[in-house]
Amino acid sequence: MILTRKIQLIINSNDKTFIGEVYKTLYRWQYICFRAANYIFTHLFIQEQLKELFYLKDEVKVKLADCSKIPDGILTCSQLGTTYRVLNKHFKGDIPMNIISSLNMTMAKHFNNEKEDYLKGERSVRNYKRDIPIPFQRRNITRLQLAENGKEYEFNLFKIPFRTYLGRDKFDKRLLVDKLLKDEVQLKNSSLQLCKGKIYLLAAFETQKEKHQLDTSIVAEAHLSIDHPIVVQIGKFRATIGSKEEFLYRRLAIQAARSQAQKDASFNRGQHGRRRKLKPLEHFRDRERDYVQQRLHVYSRQLIDLCVKYRAASLILVGQAEKEAGAVGEEFVLRNWSYYALKEKIQYKANKAGIMLIME
């Protein structure tokens, strides 16, 4: 399975001029990726919609295939090749073409997965923003090795020297990079993310699932609700994970604080204009999202740990479909209880531990 870890990177140089040039280069590449991703989706969507243009002449061919291989084809190369040629025309020489190739394959995969919804009109075409990650292939990383301090790692990416900043690693990032050095795990196509002047590596590690001694005759049942985020029962054992006071009230408190800061913003001292006035509001920008994500990770982790402890090979989310359908009509529940996000994290961790997840 694929594990994605976010690792902060630092440009491995003391030359401020060089560091400045690297940042300019990375932001230029990011801008090109933003434009290229939208180019790809636009061209792929137009190609698929050619089949729907029934008002064209009958002589018009609408088979999206290479004409040299299929007589009825209208393309001069493969469908994946068409978007690559467009990007090559616009961006060759401005960005490494390995990045363009990786981006092209990734976007084509996303488009094909969602194509049916586009054609039925049930979904709008993706629109990528300027903060899109910069994709690259595993072979673009060279000279990966342990740094002199013995705690961090250093490598070259497109001839740019980087070193990691793991800090107090509370997860498995350092362990995964160490396994990568020993060829115990593989690094798949990954990406760089630029955020508020910092550089992050979104590393995709391919690793084996965890091996636990599970009993197929033991089944765990879990209920998701607002009063208790998770209620789990395994045989005679029953436990609650989290509480309404811990999760919902804290979330509402953050919302109230942000709302109050927004009301008070007009009375703040200006000095530097809008930025100064909205400074207290910036404090709460991502607080609610980060708090919710952290709590959902903790709840789902505790649930899977209980399943492993009691050797449950299957996990049933009881009445989940009914609860999600009922939440659609209740604005408060829909806004403040992240059913889908919690279910997604449970599914990911269950798959990693080798536990079968069943939803009723």
- The predicted-structure confidence for 177-209, as pLDDT tens digits, reads as follows 988 988 888 989 999 999 888 999 999 998 888
CA distances from 243 to 187, 229, 272, 299 (A): 38, 6, 43, 10
pLDDT tens profile 263-297: 776 666 666 666 667 777 777 777 888 888 888 88
The DSSP line for 180-212 is: HHTTSSEE-SEEEEEETTEEEEEEEEE-PPP--
CA distances from 326 to 167, 192, 226, 322, 359 (A): 44, 40, 13, 6, 16
pLDDT reported for residue 243: 80
pLDDT band per the 50, 70, 90 thresholds, residue 245: confident
SS3 39: helix
* CB atoms near residue 317 (< 10 Å): 23
pLDDT reported for residue 228: 78
pLDDT reported for residue 23: 95
User: Which residues partner with 161 through β-bridges?
Assistant: 156
Residue 35 clears pLDDT 90, i.e. is over it: yes
pLDDT reported for residue 84: 86
Q: What is the mean pLDDT of the chain?
A: 83
311 backbone φψ class: left, alpha, beta (φ>0; ψ -120 to 50): left
Of 225 and 101, the structure prediction assigns the larger pLDDT to 101
- Cα four-point dihedral sign 77, 47, 36, 161: negative
pLDDT tens profile 306-317: 999 999 999 988
pLDDT band per the 50, 70, 90 thresholds, residue 336: low
Of the given ranges (97-101, 169-173, 305-309), which has the lowest mean pLDDT? 169-173
pLDDT reported for residue 192: 94
Q: Are the C-beta atoms of 166 and 174 separated by less than 8 Å?
A: yes
Residue 148 clears pLDDT 80, i.e. is over it: yes
pLDDT reported for residue 37: 93
Short-list 223, 219, 222, 221, CA closest to 323: 223
pLDDT tens profile 223-238: 887 777 888 999 889 9
Of the given ranges (39-53, 201-215, 315-329), which has the lowest mean pLDDT? 315-329
- The helix (H) or strand (E) run that includes residue 290 is helix 287-309
Q: Which structural domains are found in the chain, ordered by start?
A: 2-10+142-206 (no CATH), 19-120 (no CATH), 215-359 (3.30.420)
Of 157 and 292, the structure prediction assigns the larger pLDDT to 157
